Chain A
Amino acid sequence: MEGVDTIFCYPGGATLNITDALYHSDIHQIVVRHEQAAVHAADGYSRASGRVGVSLVTSGPGATNTVTGIATAYMDSIPIVIFSCQVNTMLIGNDAFQEADIVGITRPCTKHNYLVKDVKDLARIIKEAFFIARSGRPGPVLVDIPKDVSAASCDFKYPDKIFLRSYQPTYVGHAGQIKRLLKTIAVSKRPVLYTGGGIISSGASQELLKFAEKLSIPVTNTLMGLGGFPGNHPLFLGMLGMHGNYAANMAITESDLIIAIGSRFDDRATGKVDEFAPRAKIVHIDIDPTSISKNIKVDIPVVGDSKNVLKKMLEMLDDNKEDFENFQQNITDWVQTVNHWKNNYPLTYTKNGTLKPQYVIERIYELTKGNAIISTEVGQNQMWAAQFFKFLKPRTILTSGGLGTMGYGFPASIGAQVAFPKSLVIDIAGDGSIQMNIQELATAVQYNLPVKIVILNNRFLGMVRQWQELFYEKRYTWTHMNHAPDFVKLAEAYGAAGYRITEEKDVDDVLHEAFNNNKTTIVDVHVNPEECVYPMVPAGAPLKDMLLV
């Protein structure tokens, strides 16, 4: 069947039949403290492991509480299946107690959803739900089960095969298009690989590495693409976009050929669309035809699975060596230029004796040697994590890229820790975001999940404050968070460990202890309050117009 080993769940009246059936089940059942967290945890489980994450919640408020989690997974194409329970079929539409039209509510933020009206359809629908969630461009699928349906019984037969005439994703890229694409690469002089989350979801990082190395083409990643190419590789330019590396944004601007793979030209990545890669042809490989030519006009589209297409490209490369005879020579100048940008404009920050958030991330990277699963909240913490931690392997960064959901990181780290009990899982948080799902400390402690929350505590909703500093003359309306709890005491109140760092000299020792104590842990790091994330491309400006430190 689907091999589900874990569900993230929360009970209610409408779940009772199912909850009761799970009384003796071997399925690991993690009961959260808020349904939003159940979905983020299932999402984190899925991002870290590549398997489909599952959550189960009750009707009405239980179901509506999942919406942010579902929308988060939808925007980032994460395969999860959400079971929501529903009032009795007969009562649907009657404003019954704890009724919400969750199928209607989640229609625009699920890949697909179902209301099960007859128990005889349940097995087939579950099979379809998992298939749809993980195939093609993955995404969340919701299955709404009325209470009378979960009470009914029928002969159980799980279908071996299902067939959906209306859903047949294209995995294999058009050979002619791939050929054209390679011919275009062969004559390019300033090529860049621009890769996104599609590399992660299709498991194409090995193929990407081979391809980039074979031709020595520099690589930039979107936020969702991080980990898809080794962050410490000489060909790696770092992340592009609003807070992208100088070299990455300049490479895009000066390039004559953008090879986009599994990325969707999000506005945070492209900057001003009309001036994105003004001198470049654009080739785009993506499994989702709707992503192609949506924001940026594409010259050579290839609809297909990233891994599949990259494999084919590697094969064809071997068969067409003569096309690439002069390629290395042709791109020498370009490689030099790109390296010049990399060396002369690296990511940096002013070191002035105060405790800098960037420094904390650098130390986390050094102390873990990159060997950790990092989740992030949203805001400056997220961008610093993306910039200063070098993600070496796929599925090591869990971050809400598309929706930008504060409160995502901590429950996601719980999900990842459940999937990998032995790994070091760290949530890089802000003092604002962490308060959005702080109640999950109880869950983490209850299930002995030694997740580490490192709060880059700047007493501000830092990212919004940064915009106010730069574009609203420092009028810090709403963003000053001077009424935060004492996070160390708060951790202790939940039965977790709490540490505080206020000076740079303590960073290594405290982090070392925190990472090795085997407990759910908060490290409250009091960082420089008015630090900004740089480089920054102001909203609506072209990528080359970066504000630097």
Chain B
Amino acid sequence: MRHIISVLVENEFGVLSRIAGLFSGRGFNIESLCVAEGIDPTISTMTIVTTGNEAILEQILKQLNKLINVIKVTDFKEMDYVSREMILVKLHTDEKTRAEILRMAEIFRGKIIDVSPKTYTLLVTGDEEKLKAFLALVKPIGIKELVRTGPIAIARGEKTIKPKEIQNKGGEADG
């Protein structure tokens, strides 16, 4: 099954390789990974998409939690969420296809962000289904290159994914 996992981590060097190591050490593929700071510059949010056996995935979630630099792990499977991805796609163009590409861009609310005599580069955002549909439509025109961010996700409604309230003294070491 496909999972979107959000991991809040300390924004420090080395953290990404610890996380990647957990997946690779178990022969698990990371389909996509987005990392960036959120509101609090000391915390980065990683959004990881992975597919695989549920039991192994449960292990990975626990192991992620166990990493000293990981603040919180959330599997979006447990809540309603929205996710979006961005793609940049470079298409072959000529007189015959230019109008068609412009129409597609409009329908999918994409933008042309770069133009050359033989290419158009489009930016399109959306959820997985939308991007899939878009790519299927432009494929016959000729895709020269495709770059995608992988999805980022956020909970629906008022729910947020924040570091848990730090309630107990468990993390304190005495003098």
Give chain A's interface residues, CB within 8 Å of chain B. 103-104, 107-108, 111-112, 115, 127-128, 130-132, 135, 160-171, 288-290, 293-294
Taking the closest CB of chain A, its distance from the CB of B82, in whole angstroms, is 26
A160 CA / B172 CA spacing, docked (Å): 10
Give the residues from 1 to 42 in chain B that come closer than 8 angstroms, CB to CB, to chain A.
Answer: 9-10, 13-14, 17-18, 21, 25
A107 CA / B71 CA spacing, docked (Å): 18
Interfacial chain A residues near B63, Cβ < 8 Å: 290
Beta-carbon contact of A165 and B71 below 8 Å:
yes
Taking the closest CB of chain B, its distance from the CB of A416, in whole angstroms, is 26
A214 CA / B39 CA spacing, docked (Å): 55
Q: Which one of A160, A163, A166 lies within 8 Å of B68 (CB-CB)?
A: A166
Binds A, one of B87-95, B139-147, B162-170: B162-170
Taking the closest CB of chain A, its distance from the CB of B78, in whole angstroms, is 16
Beta-carbon contact of B166 and A112 below 8 Å:
no
Beta-carbon contact of B173 and A162 below 8 Å:
yes
Q: Which one of A104, A161, A166, A294 lies within 8 Å of B173 (CB-CB)?
A: A161
Most buried by B among A108, A164, A170, A288: A164
Given A165-B163, A168-B171, A290-B62, does the pair A115, B68 have CB atoms closer than 8 Å?
Answer: no
Given A104-B17, A107-B21, A108-B21, does the pair A164, B171 have CB atoms closer than 8 Å?
Answer: yes
Beta-carbon contact of B68 and A167 below 8 Å:
yes
Taking the closest CB of chain A, its distance from the CB of B100, in whole angstroms, is 49
A279 CA / B18 CA spacing, docked (Å): 39
Q: Mind listing 10 A-B residue pairs with CB under 8 Å?
A: A107-B17, A108-B21, A112-B69, A132-B68, A160-B174, A164-B171, A165-B163, A166-B71, A169-B170, A170-B170
Q: Which one of A107, A162, A171 lies within 8 Å of B18 (CB-CB)?
A: A107
Beta-carbon contact of B175 and A112 below 8 Å:
no
Given A135-B173, A290-B62, does the pair A103, B14 have CB atoms closer than 8 Å?
Answer: yes
Beta-carbon contact of A166 and B70 below 8 Å:
yes
A208 CA / B170 CA spacing, docked (Å): 24
A462 CA / B58 CA spacing, docked (Å): 39
Give the residues from 101 to 156 in chain B that come closer than 8 angstroms, CB to CB, to chain A.
Answer: none
Taking the closest CB of chain B, its distance from the CB of A363, in whole angstroms, is 44
A-B contact sample (8 more), CB < 8 A, given A161-B174, A166-B9: A127-B173, A128-B173, A162-B172, A162-B173, A163-B171, A165-B163, A167-B171, A289-B66
Interfacial chain A residues near B59, Cβ < 8 Å: 290, 294
A162 CA / B173 CA spacing, docked (Å): 6
A104 CA / B21 CA spacing, docked (Å): 10
Give chain B's interface residues, CB within 8 Å of chain A. 9-10, 13-14, 17-18, 21, 25, 58-59, 62-63, 65-71, 163, 166, 168, 170-175
Q: Name the 3 nearest CB pairs between A and B, nearest first.
A: A168-B170, A131-B173, A160-B175
A169 CA / B166 CA spacing, docked (Å): 13
Interfacial chain A residues near B9, Cβ < 8 Å: 166
* B163 to A, closest residue via Cβ: A165
* A171 to B, closest residue via Cβ: B170
Beta-carbon contact of B66 and A163 below 8 Å:
no
Taking the closest CB of chain A, its distance from the CB of B16, in whole angstroms, is 11
* A161 to B, closest residue via Cβ: B172
Beta-carbon contact of B174 and A164 below 8 Å:
no
Q: Which one of A107, A161, A165, A289 lies within 8 Å of B62 (CB-CB)?
A: A289
Q: Which one of B13, B17, B68, B174 lies within 8 Å of A112 (CB-CB)?
A: B68
Q: Which one of A161, A165, A289, A294 lies within 8 Å of B166 (CB-CB)?
A: A165
* A103 to B, closest residue via Cβ: B14
Taking the closest CB of chain A, its distance from the CB of B4, in whole angstroms, is 21
Interfacial chain B residues near A127, Cβ < 8 Å: 173
Interfacial chain A residues near B70, Cβ < 8 Å: 166
A521 CA / B18 CA spacing, docked (Å): 44
Interfacial chain A residues near B18, Cβ < 8 Å: 107
* B65 to A, closest residue via Cβ: A289
Interfacial chain A residues near B65, Cβ < 8 Å: 289-290
Taking the closest CB of chain B, its distance from the CB of A234, in whole angstroms, is 38
A131 CA / B170 CA spacing, docked (Å): 11
Beta-carbon contact of B62 and A164 below 8 Å:
no
Taking the closest CB of chain A, its distance from the CB of B168, in whole angstroms, is 7
A164 CA / B66 CA spacing, docked (Å): 13
Beta-carbon contact of B172 and A163 below 8 Å:
yes
Given A107-B18, A108-B21, does the pair A288, B68 have CB atoms closer than 8 Å?
Answer: no
* B69 to A, closest residue via Cβ: A166
Interfacial chain B residues near A290, Cβ < 8 Å: 59, 62-63, 65-66
